[in-house]
Each structure stands twice: as structure tokens, then as C-alpha cells.
């Protein structure tokens, strides 16, 4: 059985993802601010933007938690199997 190496995110990839998120959020917020509509429409779109952002964070957390839960379950199952295999002696005869 091979051990799985956890994938690590590099700092450059993290920086690129954070910058991309910030740029998209600022661009959309500026677009809403300068939209030629009434304040009520801008407020509605701003609340929609905030809702979309918080929903995205919540979804990302749920996906990560499910993935970690599956990895932990997999590791526990693998440890149990390894324990059973290490305790098993194919040459041992019961009753002798």
C-alpha cells in the first residue's frame, strides 16, 4: 500500500487566487457603484454581491470539510486493515 502525499498549495498560487478574488470583487463593486440606476437598485445589487461572496465561502468550507472527513475515514479504515494484516499469521492453526 502506498502512502498518499498531501497536496500543498504554493504561496504564489495562494497569492494569485487572493489577488484574483480581490480584483473581481473590487471591479464588480465599482461597476455597481457607477451604474446609472437609482440607489435602491445599487443597494439591491450590493446585497446580492455580498450574498454571493458569503455563499461561495460557505460552499468552499463545506466542500473542504467533506474532503477532510473522507480522508480521515479513509485513513482510519487503512489503519484498521493494516492492523488486521499485521496480526494475521497465515501459518497459525487454531486449536493447536
- Mean pLDDT in the chain? 85
| Stated length of the chain | 96
Higher-confidence residue of 4 and 77: namely 77
- Of 20 and 87, the structure prediction assigns the larger pLDDT to 20
- Model confidence pLDDT, tens digit, residues 23-66: 999 999 999 999 999 999 999 999 999 999 999 999 999 998 88
Count the helix, strand and coil residues of the chain and give each as a percent rounded to the nearest 5. Answer: 75, 0, 25
Q: CA-CA distances (angstroms) from residue 10 to 7, 13, 14, 15, 16?
A: 9, 5, 6, 9, 10
Amino acid at each position: 500500500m502506498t502512502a498518499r502525499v498531501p497536496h500543498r498549495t504554493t504561496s504564489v498560487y495562494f497569492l494569485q487566487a487572493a489577488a484574483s478574488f480581490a480584483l473581481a470583487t473590487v471591479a464588480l463593486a465599482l461597476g455597481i457603484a457607477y451604474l446609472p440606476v437609482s440607489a435602491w437598485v445599487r443597494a439591491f445589487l450590493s446585497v446580492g454581491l455580498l450574498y454571493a461572496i458569503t455563499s461561495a465561502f460557505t460552499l468552499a468550507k463545506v466542500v473542504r470539510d467533506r474532503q477532510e472527513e473522507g480522508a480521515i475515514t479513509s485513513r482510519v479504515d487503512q489503519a484498521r486493515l493494516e492492523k488486521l494484516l499485521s496480526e494475521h499469521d497465515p501459518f497459525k492453526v487454531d486449536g493447536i
